[in-house]
Structure 1
Amino acid sequence: MSTTPSPAGAHRTDGSSVRIGALVPLSRPGWVEAGRHVLAGLELAVHEVNDAGGIDGRPLELVVRDTAADPRQAEAAVEELDRLGVAAVAGEYHSVVARAAAARADALGLPFLCSSAVLDALTERPTEWVARLAPAQSHGWRIYADFLLGAGHSRIAVAAEPSVYWASGAGILRDHLTPRGGTVIELDARALSPAALCDALVEQRATALLLLVGTPEPAVPIVQAVRRDQRLAEVLIGAPAGQPEFAGWARSLGDEGSAIPFLRYLPERLGPLGVRVGAALRERLAEPPSFVAFEGYDTIAVLAEVLRSHGDADRAGIAASWPRVAVEGTRGQIRFSRTPGIGVWQWAWTPVQVVDRDPAAPGRFRVLHAG
C-alpha cells in the first residue's frame, strides 16, 4: 500500500474550521445504537474543544459519514473525506468496516484513529497511518476466556454467524481454552433455529453458550429460547462482544437479558474527568453512556492534542505523532505503542472488565472479572 499523502492532504480545508472525518454506523444493518454512542462522544469532545478556544483559535468541525456496517460504503466515505481535505478520520464501531476504512486511509496517506473496532488484523501489514484506542480482540477475549474457566465452564458452545470478526473471536477462544482443558463447540446460528440450537446445547452437554451474533436478530430470540427451556436452566449465556451494554438490549429482553456476561472497556471506577464526561454524555444521550461513548470522546481528545502540535495541513506529521501521544483520557492515560501481532499503533491497554446486568436490577451492572 502506498504511504504517500494524496494531494488533498497537502492543503488546508476551505474556511476557518479544522475538519475531522467521522465514520459511524447510523443506519441498518449497522448497529445504530452503538453508532449513536460513538457519535455522542465525538460530538461532546468537539464541543468542549471549541468552548476552550478550538485548535489555535480555529473551531474543530466533524464531517460525519454513515457507514451502515458496509465496508464498501466506508471506503467510499474515506475517499470523499480525503477529497474534502480533512486532517484525519476517526471513529467506526464494526471491525470489518474499520478494516476496510483503515486500508483505504493507509493507501491515501490519511491519518485514521479508530475508536471502537477490535479485530487484531485491522490492516494487512504494519502502517504508520492508523492508530487504535480499543483493545485488540485477542487481548479482551482471552480475559473473557479466563473468566469462563474461573467460573467452572469447560464445555462452551458458540452460536456464530459467518463473519471475519466472529470467526476470529471463536478462534481466540478455542486457542486459549483448549490447552487449559476447555472444549469449544461451534453452532451455526443461521442454519439452526433457536429451538434446534437449544436441542444442540442439550446434546452437546454445554454449560455455557456464547452469542457471536448480531442484535436484536438473532441474539434476542436465541436468549428467549434458552431462558425458557427448562433443560437449560443452568446454562450460562455470554456475549463477549458487548451486546447487553446498550439500553436497547434491556428494552428488548427485560429480566431475561440480565446475568449475561460481556466485555466492557472501562475502569472499575472513573476518575474526575471520566465522571464529568459520563454525566455530560448521559444528558446528551438521555440514557446511561456505554463504554463506546467514552471511546468516541477519547478519540477527539487525542486528535485535538495532536492537531494543536502539528496543525491540520501536515498529515504526515499527524501520523508520525502517534508514538509521542500522551493524553489524559476518560479511562486513563492514552499512549500508543507497537504491539506484537498488531499492525497499527495501539493503546495497550484500556481497562477491561467482564460485567453483566444485575438480575435484581437490570439497569445496574455487576463487575464479575477484570483484566
Structure 2
Amino acid sequence: MLAGLELAVRDVNDAGGIVGRPLELVVRDTAADPRKAVAAVDELAGLGVAALAGEYHSVVARAAAARADALGLPFLCSSAVLDGLTEQPTEWVARLAPAQSHGWQIYADFLLGAGHRRIAVAAESSVYWAAGTRILRDHLAPRGGTIIELDLRAFAPTAVCAELVDNRVTALLLLVGYPEPAVSIVKSVRRDRRLAQIMIGAPAGQPEFAEWATLLGEDGAAIPFLRYLPERLGPLGVRVEAALDERLAQAPSFVAFEGYDTVAVLAEALRSHGVDRVRDAGFWPRVAVEGTRGQIQFSRVPGISVWQWAWTPIQVVDRDPAQPDRFRILHTG
C-alpha cells in the first residue's frame, strides 16, 4: 500500500502538484493496533494534514474512521472492508475497497458454483472474522449451504483436521491471522491424507502476498481468495503496474493499486475543491477520477455508513499449482 501511495504522490508532483504546491505524504505506522491508529489520527490532525489516507486492517480502520469523523477530518480508507466502518453515517469517511458483505457474497457464490455445500470456517475471535462468518452463513443457508464454525480458541491446527473429517466438509476457509496460524493450518491439512480432496480457501486474501508462497511453497497454491482487480488493466493501470513492479522488485498486490488510487482521488479533490472545501463535509459525491482499476465515484450504499465506491472489480483467484507465482482467475463479480 505504501508503495502505491508514494508512487502516486510522485506522479502528482511530477505533474505540477496541487495548484503549484507539492503534495506531501506524512506516514505513521498504526502497527495493526486500534489505539495506535487513534493516536496517529490525533497527531496528524494536529500537524494540519488536509486528509487521511490508507489502512489495511478493518478493525484498525474502524478506530481511525471513528476518530476522523469526530474531528471532522476527511479519511479515504484504501483497503479495509468491514461494513460498519463507522457506527453512524458520516460525511467525512469514504472507502475504495468493496464492503465485506458485497465481496464475501461473491466468494460464497463461487463456493456454491464449485459444488461446496458443507463448509468449515477456522476462525479467530474478531469483529471482522465474525462478520465474515455471518455473511457467508446468511448467503449460503438459503441456497443449501452449511457453515460449521471451528473456534481456534478451542482447536489447535492439528485438531482442526479431525474436525474436518468428522464433519464431512468439502471446503475449509481460513478466517485467521497471517502468517500464523494460517500457515500452520494449511500445512496440517495438506499433510493429512484423509483431507486430500478438501479445498482450502482464504477470502480475506492472505495468499496474495509473496511471503505466502515463500512460507508454503506448493502447499500455498490452489487456495482461492478475493482480489480487487479487473480482468484487464487499462492504460493507467498498466503503467502503474510496471512502475510498482520496478519499485517493489516483484509483482504488486492489489493493495498497491488501492494505495495509488487513494492518492489519485484525494489529489483530484484538492485540485477541484481546495483544502478549505475538502475540509467541508459533503464533497465526496462530487469526486470523479479515472483510477488504475476503473472510474472511481462515491455514493451511498444501503447498510454502509461511509461514502463508498460501488464497486471496485472483484475476482476470486488462486495461485497456480504448476506455477505458484502466477494467479488463475476462477470467478468474477
Q: TM-score band, normalised by the shorter chain?
A: over 0.9
Alignment of 1:69-80 (within 5 A): 69-80=32-43
- How far, CA to CA, are the matches of 1:196 and 1:127 in structure 2? 44
Q: Is the 8 A contact 2:269 2:278 kept in 1?
A: no
- How far, CA to CA, are the matches of 1:217 and 1:244 in structure 2? 13
TM-score for the superposition, normalised by structure 2: 0.99
TM-score for the superposition, normalised by structure 1: 0.89
Alignment of 1:333-352 (within 5 A): 333-352=295-314
1:195 is aligned, of 158, 161, 181, to 158
Amino acid at match of 1:149: L
- How far, CA to CA, are the matches of 1:194 and 1:80 in structure 2? 40
Corresponding residue of 1:211: 174
Residue 234 of structure 1 deviates from its aligned partner by 0.5
Amino acid at match of 2:316: V
Q: Is the 8 A contact 2:277 2:283 kept in 1?
A: no
- How far, CA to CA, are the matches of 1:313 and 1:150 in structure 2? 50
2:147 is aligned, of 177, 184, 189, to 184
- How far, CA to CA, are the matches of 1:365 and 1:344 in structure 2? 32
Corresponding residue of 1:28: none
Q: Is the 8 A contact 1:244 1:260 kept in 2?
A: yes
Corresponding residue of 1:22: none
Residue 311 of structure 1 deviates from its aligned partner by 2.0
Residue 310 of structure 1 deviates from its aligned partner by 2.1
- How far, CA to CA, are the matches of 1:253 and 1:327 in structure 2? 38
- How far, CA to CA, are the matches of 1:163 and 1:110 in structure 2? 27
Residue 191 of structure 1 deviates from its aligned partner by 2.2
1:242 is aligned, of 202, 205, 208, to 205
Instruction: Could you tell me which runs of 5 or more consecutive residues in structure 2 were left unpaired when the two chains were aligned.
Output: none
1:364 is aligned, of 311, 326, 332, to 326
- How far, CA to CA, are the matches of 1:304 and 1:238 in structure 2? 37
Provide the secondary structure at the position in 2 that maps to 1:337. coil
- How far, CA to CA, are the matches of 2:282 and 2:39 in structure 1? 25
Residue 312 of structure 1 deviates from its aligned partner by 2.1
1:113 is aligned, of 47, 55, 76, to 76
Residue 193 of structure 1 deviates from its aligned partner by 1.3
Residue 248 of structure 1 deviates from its aligned partner by 0.4
2:114 corresponds to 1:146: no
Q: Is the 8 A contact 2:209 2:253 kept in 1?
A: yes
Q: Is the 8 A contact 1:157 1:187 kept in 2?
A: yes
- How far, CA to CA, are the matches of 1:121 and 1:63 in structure 2? 27
2:151 corresponds to 1:170: no
- How far, CA to CA, are the matches of 2:179 and 2:204 in structure 1? 13
- How far, CA to CA, are the matches of 2:4 and 2:250 in structure 1? 13
Residue 326 of structure 1 deviates from its aligned partner by 0.8
Q: Is the 8 A contact 1:109 1:315 kept in 2?
A: no
Q: Is the 8 A contact 1:265 1:350 kept in 2?
A: yes
Q: Can you list the C-alpha shifts for 1:132-160, whole angstroms capped at 9, x where unaligned?
A: 00000000000000000000000000000
- How far, CA to CA, are the matches of 1:105 and 1:314 in structure 2? 16
Residue 286 of structure 1 deviates from its aligned partner by 1.2
Amino acid at match of 2:123: A
Measured on the aligned residues, the alpha-carbon RMSD in Å equals 0.7
- How far, CA to CA, are the matches of 1:181 and 1:87 in structure 2? 49
Runs of at least 4 residues of structure 1 off by over 6 A? Answer: none
Corresponding residue of 1:284: 247
Instruction: Could you tell me which runs of 5 or more consecutive residues in structure 1 were left unpaired when the two chains were aligned.
Output: 1-37
The percentage of aligned residue pairs carrying the same residue is: 80
1:59 is aligned, of 22, 26, 30, to 22
Q: Can you list the C-alpha shifts for 1:220-278, whole angstroms capped at 9, x where unaligned?
A: 01000000100000000000000000100000000000000000000001011101000
Corresponding residue of 1:89: 52
Q: Can you list the C-alpha shifts for 1:190-231, whole angstroms capped at 9, x where unaligned?
A: 321111100000000010000000111000010000001000
Amino acid at match of 2:78: S
- How far, CA to CA, are the matches of 1:275 and 1:129 in structure 2? 31
- How far, CA to CA, are the matches of 2:59 and 2:99 in structure 1? 13
Corresponding residue of 1:327: 289
